[in-house]
Copies of this chain bind each other. A is one copy, B any other.
């Protein structure tokens, strides 16, 4: 049992990301698995990470020390720290210089805090970047990615070798221009778009707090890590960071520690020109503990003391404002925007080498620095081994909890989970798909241990409450209903963090479909970073009625159909809603959006979970030989209209096929034979109907077909009236069908 389960676990957590474009296929990580011991509980020998001499410690000793390490923060020899910090600076300088592209300023300024985090504070296993109980680090100021790459390189991650540093920002490189979790093992989330990272970090800390509350026992602290984040002035200005940080304070995420790189420079120059608020006071108002390190350039002990203090505050997240000099060490460019986003140039690199007393060739890591960092590989392996042993014990004592946690860690779903999905017949009561969605959510929460989520203050409209659970709150973090408040963008990014914490955490989040406009930045990062968030988006068309055009999505379906790696579902009834959820749960590396109706819809004959999973499928057809007179295509609430129109046309003797196009992206994945069986090329008489923009529909209706939709803004009135006035009716479909056939 132990060995088979550990195998599963190791397979899952090592699963590399799918190649996303030409470059990544040639850059799949070649991880060394040698030190990984799965969940096997084996004795181990290791030098303690904080003690440089090699000492054999007993398991118990280690355990105590490992958890106490962060409080100790013993000072390493000052000279080697300084040298290590300058190594980080020059790796960044050299890589940017070679690429002639990138951002050297932040790594030069943040090298001290980066060094202390990766060398003295964080627990991780460089040879298994996916070890579950590692501390998480997020560089929210993602443009400074060379800081993180340099640290991963020194720490011994296989993903960042010297050759990688030399190929920074080049085709096929494993270290792209901004941190990407799917390219570089060791990078937790994808950052660069400002503010996303701090919100992701909130999500990572939510995941830890939730899992710790659910799974830790008085005798087994099996979930226990910190989340660290570095954010800059840019992140601080973004609204998303205020949203996420307000929630972090509300939730009391004591194990979230944010370093605010306060360097007073952004791209346009001194932050005085646009950013004069009192950030520390704002964070205090948000319920954070705030510490100010006034000398972030050389004040190592101040940084260490701040981290110690932050860890002592257990009921609040901590923001450590670290005042630094951007481009520290560059005699002529430090403290100016010119060092933010461009290579220093050969002359200034030389001047910086002289200024910091750095005699080495580009990309050189001095031997003593190398040697100093080399302990992280055995220590990291030991940490993981110890944790695996702990887990094995835990599994013996608490088999049910262990099974759930294992499912969450590996992403392996419990056998037969999909049987929980509800099915419907035409006799089932008509209902809004938002309500049918709630039936699915509640069914899934019962069988999927990592299923949790909530709404941006619209739970009672989005129908997203899990009835068997309470609210995830500061003092009830074991619960699974997240209350995001009216913070859509923060919500999406927090869910990205939750999803990327563990493969089996399946977060969903909800608002009105039109307000995806508020969270699109986070949704795109879901798609790019392969975070399988489920977006439950109700009130999906003019069918919401009286709230009017500000609340009625029009172009939103098209806008997501055009976005890579995201599934845009628009189910028509209960079976299709269940089908959408089935795929959404299975696709752990692709986010899904469900556009759901506010209004009641009938359960239609011919719909099915299997059909929905194909994206487009035949719902009804009275023709033979794959040659109907006309094909009517509908989605969501308009499939009913297509069905009604078909009835009319059939009465007039026509052969009619009705096709449901619940998810274009899934349909595109089907074989050409299947597609030909649904939309035969010989049948050009095609009419689509969808209460949204017709943009893109020509792809399916073709040059000779007709797309019925809404290409202007909506209106405030009862839904039925708007449908009629806008011509989204069976009559319009019948007329169009006659026109094209």
User: Considering only CB atoms, which chain B residue lies closest to A544 in the complex?
Assistant: B177
Shortest distance between the CB of A713 and any CB in chain B (Å):
5
Residues of B contacting A459 with CB < 8 Å?
Answer: 267-268
A 18-69 contacts with B by CB, 8 A: 20-23
Question: Contact at A715–B23, with CB atoms within 8 Å?
Answer: yes
- Whether a CB of chain B sits under 8 angstroms from the CB of A371 is no
Question: Contact at A177–B548, with CB atoms within 8 Å?
Answer: yes
User: Considering only CB atoms, which chain B residue lies closest to A548 in the complex?
Assistant: B177
Question: Contact at A177–B282, with CB atoms within 8 Å?
Answer: no
Q: In the complex, what distance in Å separates the CA atom of A280 from the CA atom of B274?
A: 21
Residues of B contacting A360 with CB < 8 Å?
Answer: none
Shortest distance between the CB of A525 and any CB in chain B (Å):
8
- Whether a CB of chain B sits under 8 angstroms from the CB of A718 is yes
Residues of B contacting A71 with CB < 8 Å?
Answer: none
- Whether a CB of chain B sits under 8 angstroms from the CB of A457 is yes
Shortest distance between the CB of A245 and any CB in chain B (Å):
9
Residues of B contacting A180 with CB < 8 Å?
Answer: 548-550
Q: In the complex, what distance in Å separates the CA atom of A276 from the CA atom of B286?
A: 8
Q: In the complex, what distance in Å separates the CA atom of A23 from the CA atom of B267?
A: 46
Known contacts A287-B276, A703-B703, A721-B171; decide if A695 and B558 are in contact (CB<8 Å). yes
Known contacts A237-B243, A486-B237, A695-B561; decide if A267 and B193 are in contact (CB<8 Å). no
A 467-486 contacts with B by CB, 8 A: 471, 473, 483-486
Interface string of A437-460 (1 = CB under 8 A from B): 000000000000000000101111
A 484-508 contacts with B by CB, 8 A: 484-490
Question: Contact at B562–A486, with CB atoms within 8 Å?
Answer: no
Known contacts A178-B551, A485-B237, A559-B558; decide if A277 and B285 are in contact (CB<8 Å). yes
- Whether a CB of chain B sits under 8 angstroms from the CB of A136 is no
Shortest distance between the CB of A246 and any CB in chain B (Å):
5
Question: Contact at B23–A717, with CB atoms within 8 Å?
Answer: yes
Question: Contact at B239–A489, with CB atoms within 8 Å?
Answer: yes
Q: Which of B99, B285, B726 contacts A278 (CB 8 A)?
A: B285
Shortest distance between the CB of A28 and any CB in chain B (Å):
15
Residues of B contacting A545 with CB < 8 Å?
Answer: 101
Copy count, this protein chain = 2
A 260-314 contacts with B by CB, 8 A: 266-268, 271, 273-282, 284-287
Q: Which of B170, B484, B520, B695 contacts A718 (CB 8 A)?
A: B170
Known contacts A267-B461, A281-B284, A549-B528; decide if A555 and B562 are in contact (CB<8 Å). yes
Shortest distance between the CB of A434 and any CB in chain B (Å):
14
- Whether a CB of chain B sits under 8 angstroms from the CB of A407 is no
Question: Contact at B717–A169, with CB atoms within 8 Å?
Answer: yes
- Whether a CB of chain B sits under 8 angstroms from the CB of A118 is no
A 509-530 contacts with B by CB, 8 A: 514-515, 517-518, 520-521, 523-525, 527-528
Q: Which of B99, B194, B551, B714 contacts A546 (CB 8 A)?
A: B99
Known contacts A239-B240, A285-B278, A725-B22; decide if A176 and B101 are in contact (CB<8 Å). no
Q: In the complex, what distance in Å separates the CA atom of A488 from the CA atom of B178?
A: 20
A 204-238 contacts with B by CB, 8 A: 233-235, 237-238
- Whether a CB of chain B sits under 8 angstroms from the CB of A702 is yes
A 567-600 contacts with B by CB, 8 A: none
Residues of B contacting A564 with CB < 8 Å?
Answer: 554-555, 693, 711-713
- Whether a CB of chain B sits under 8 angstroms from the CB of A190 is yes
Residues of B contacting A337 with CB < 8 Å?
Answer: 460
- Whether a CB of chain B sits under 8 angstroms from the CB of A142 is yes
User: Considering only CB atoms, which chain B residue lies closest to A720 in the complex?
Assistant: B171
Residues of B contacting A142 with CB < 8 Å?
Answer: 550
Q: In the complex, what distance in Å separates the CA atom of A523 from the CA atom of B721?
A: 28
Question: Contact at A715–B243, with CB atoms within 8 Å?
Answer: no
- Whether a CB of chain B sits under 8 angstroms from the CB of A247 is yes
Q: In the complex, what distance in Å separates the CA atom of A374 from the CA atom of B45?
A: 89
Interface string of A241-255 (1 = CB under 8 A from B): 111001101100000
Shortest distance between the CB of A474 and any CB in chain B (Å):
9
Q: In the complex, what distance in Å separates the CA atom of A712 from the CA atom of B562?
A: 10
Question: Contact at A250–B278, with CB atoms within 8 Å?
Answer: no
Question: Contact at A285–B276, with CB atoms within 8 Å?
Answer: no
Question: Contact at A243–B249, with CB atoms within 8 Å?
Answer: no
Q: Which of B247, B274, B285 contacts A274 (CB 8 A)?
A: B247
- Whether a CB of chain B sits under 8 angstroms from the CB of A565 is yes
Question: Contact at B275–A250, with CB atoms within 8 Å?
Answer: yes
- Whether a CB of chain B sits under 8 angstroms from the CB of A347 is no
Question: Contact at A487–B238, with CB atoms within 8 Å?
Answer: yes
Known contacts A243-B238, A555-B563; decide if A192 and B550 are in contact (CB<8 Å). yes
- Whether a CB of chain B sits under 8 angstroms from the CB of A102 is yes
- Whether a CB of chain B sits under 8 angstroms from the CB of A696 is yes
Question: Contact at A234–B726, with CB atoms within 8 Å?
Answer: no
Question: Contact at B558–A176, with CB atoms within 8 Å?
Answer: no
Residues of B contacting A169 with CB < 8 Å?
Answer: 546, 548, 716-718
Known contacts A268-B459, A528-B550, A564-B555; decide if A193 and B514 are in contact (CB<8 Å). yes
Residues of B contacting A192 with CB < 8 Å?
Answer: 547-548, 550-551
- Whether a CB of chain B sits under 8 angstroms from the CB of A651 is no
Known contacts A457-B268, A460-B267, A524-B517; decide if A274 and B193 are in contact (CB<8 Å). no
Q: In the complex, what distance in Å separates the CA atom of A514 from the CA atom of B520?
A: 10
Q: Which of B243, B483, B517, B562 contacts A693 (CB 8 A)?
A: B562
Shortest distance between the CB of A550 and any CB in chain B (Å):
4
- Whether a CB of chain B sits under 8 angstroms from the CB of A173 is yes
- Whether a CB of chain B sits under 8 angstroms from the CB of A200 is no
- Whether a CB of chain B sits under 8 angstroms from the CB of A191 is yes
Residues of B contacting A524 with CB < 8 Å?
Answer: 517
**Among all A-B residue pairs, the 5 with the closest Cβ atoms:** A239-B239, A274-B485, A176-B716, A281-B285, A192-B550
